[in-house]
Every structure is written in C-alpha cells, then in structure tokens.
Amino acid sequence: SQTIHQWPATLVQPVGSPLSLECTVEGTSNPNLYWYRQAAGRGLQLLFYSVGIGQISSEVPQNLSASRPQDRQFILSSKKLLLSDSGFYLCAWTGGAGDTQYFGPGTRLTVL
Amino acid sequence: GDSVTQMEGPVTLSEEAFLTINCTYTATGYPSLFWYVQYPGEGLQLLLKATKADDKGSNKGFEATYRKETTSFHLEKGSVQVSDSAVYFCANTRAVGGSNYKLTFGKGTLLTVNP
C-alpha cells in the first residue's frame, strides 16, 4: 500500500532563516505531487505541483520554492522566511490517471 | 473559475443527531467531487468521492450525492458520534494538463459533537 511521509512534523523558525520541508511517497512510482498551505483562518491553498523529476509548476508567486530531486521526493524551500509563511503545510499525491489526492500528516511551521 | 462554497460553521450537535453540511460548486465540465475530513493536528483524509452526476459516495456512515442540476454535494450522516468531531472540507477537481488535477477546496466546516 502507498504511504506518504512528511518531516519535520513541527518547526519553529526565526524570520529570515532558511526552510526545507520534505515529503516522500512509498509504494508507488511516478506520482503527481502537490504542496498546499493551510494558514490560520484561511482555506487550503495550492502552492506547487509536480508531474515528474525536475518538473515544478507554481500556483502562487511567493517567498517559497519547490524541487523534486527524485521520483518520490518533493521538497519545499525558502531562503528567508517571513512571518506570513507560518501555517500548516500539506503534501499530497495522486497516481496514474487518478484525480484523487491523498495527503500526508502535515508540517506545522511557526515563524517568529 | 472553479469555486466551492460550503456552509460556515461551527456546527455543534449532540451525539446521535442528524448531520447535514451543505456544499455547492461552480466548475466547467464535469468535475469529481470530494469530502475530506481533518482531525485536530492531522492532515486531510479522504472521506468519500463521486465522479459523475447522481453518484452517491459513502463511507463510515457519511453520504453525499452528486447533484448536477443543483451543483451540490451535501454531506449527511444519520447519527453522529463524538469521534466525528473534525473539520470537513468539500472539494472539486479539474484537470490542469495531462494526468494532473487541481483541487479547489471550500473553507471547511468545524463540527463538534457533544456526548
């Protein structure tokens, strides 16, 4: 069966520091991968999606970037965090031609 | 563009009460429709889905029917339990190229079930 992992689970970072969040999927190959952010009091916002290694599409211009160095690995990064980057970051995947997205456990990021 | 509107919460019910959470959508074409549930501190779990008009998705006692004529996908459960307390998200999906799909979410409805 397929499993999706995210780490770290919780992160507290100072403003201006770098960020690296990791997402990995097990039990499938060539998944489509997604990064979402859930900010307090706001809905879920799609940040990036990827259909393959090195292929990244950005939905919203912002202070973040994404990379996909391996088939089942998706990384969210920032060079300098802003207060507004605080939130709950969720990774998701779909397989094959399916449109159902399956979510990871999330990373809670607090920028102070 | 696509959008999803769901009833604002919070919704507070007593155990064994009937639940309805309304959801309507706008979309071009024929999107798939989903309900996801988020328990405190956790990621989203797929609750149920429907892929075409008149389909009924069901899981764990929850049901929702894809109503194309009213562009709705209301979530119902006949008898809620304390363990159903969570945030519920309605979503639709559209293709954005190739095998890639974008989910559009509603803002979520917080459900609290009291014993």
**Quick one: pLDDT at residue B77?**
98
The ranges of chain A with pLDDT < 70 are 41-42, 61, 96-97
CB contact under 8 A, A32 and B99: yes
Out of A46, A96, A106, whose CB is closest to B43? A106
Query: How much is the pLDDT for B94?
Result: 80
End-to-end alpha-carbon separation of chain B, Å? 41
In sequence order, the 6+-apart residues with CB closer than 8 A to the CB of B111 are: B9, B10, B11, B12, B13, B19, B21, B80, B84, B85, B86, B87, B88
- Residue A15: CB atoms within 10 A of its CB come to 12
Distance CA B68, CA A96 (A): 26
Tell me what the mean pLDDT of segment B12-24 comes to.
Answer: 97
A41 contact partners, CB below 8 Å, separation of at least 6: none
Mean pLDDT of B31-60: 94
The mean pLDDT value for B44-50 works out to 95
Q: Which of B32, B44, B93 sits opposite A103 (nearest CB)?
A: B44
CA-CA distance, A89 to A97, in Å (whole number)?
A: 25
Give B42→chain A minimum CA distance, Å.
5
List residues in chain B touching A: CB distance below 8 A. 32, 34, 36, 41-46, 49, 89, 93, 95-96, 98-103, 105-108
Q: Which residue has the tokens 């008898």?
A: B79
pLDDT per residue as tens digits for the range B53-77: 999 999 999 999 999 999 999 999 9
Mean pLDDT of the region B100-115: 91
How does the average pLDDT of chain B come out, rounded? 93
Query: Are B103 and A94 in contact (CB < 8 Å)?
Result: no
Residue A41 structure tokens: 């009091």
Indicate if the pLDDT at residue B9 is higher than 90.
Answer: no
Task: Dig out the tokens for B7 from the structure.
Answer: 């009833």
